[in-house]
Amino acid sequence: MVLLGFGNVTSESSWGCGGVLVSERFILTAGHCISSKEFGPVTDAKVGILERSAEVDSTRRYKIKRIIKHPDYQAPSKYNDIALLETDREITLDNLAVPACLYDGHPINDSSAIVTGWGTTVFRYNKISNILQKVTLQKFSDEDCSRTYAPNSRGMRHMKKGYNSTTQMCFGDWHKKKDSCNGDSGGPAQIKHPQIYCMYSVVGITSWGRECGHPGQPAIYHIVWPVLYPG
């Protein structure tokens, strides 16, 4: 898990989105996490930490050298909301900093996924979490996602054409107030690895949702395999 910082990173609030370590030099995140309206472009990354406010040395903190957004991503749209970040040097790998496995199969047979991030645990509550959080969410069908995020429906100015099952998927909870929320963007949705015991694979990147924690209203995640195998 990676925590991203923006601009000059002069305050705790300038640490925002999450990311996924995928190699010694690259971090996968959401397209809208390449820049902050308040602080500017993404500039820093903390790797292998649990506490957001943790003071780290050079083995845990890296500068962002290059930003590679999806060629079809156009802010503020949430379509193609995925990007790669290259660090200024190789990341030191250890038991807390390990490149994630990316799921390359289709379809997903798992009925749930684990989502992690430092986001807020209460919608419209600006204080985001200091300790890394995780939640197990149910996978919603494409039909349910399409109904929730229908074209031109309420709050769909960033997704006017509605849900796109080719590049998006939905996770939430039908009955409980379990969800990702503000500050969780760019982090992973993971399922158990189909072959390796006690291993997980990243299937999606946290992208967007109307509101947080409403039973029956899932959030949107960008699927990783269309990026791995375009076309």
Q: Give the residue numbers marked as catalytic.
A: 32, 81, 185
* Contact of 187 with 21, CB cutoff 8 Å: no
| Chain-centre distance for alpha carbon 105 | 19
> Six-digit token pair at 107?
């379809």
* Contact of 187 with 207, CB cutoff 8 Å: no
Query: Residue 99's CB: how many other CB atoms inside 10 A?
Result: 14
Partnered with residue 20 across adjacent β-strands are: 28
Closest CA to 111 of 163, 188, 196, 171: 171
Q: What is the C-alpha to C-alpha distance for residues 216 and 150, in angstroms, rounded to an integer?
A: 15
Distances (CA, A) of 71 to 63, 74, 83: 23, 8, 9
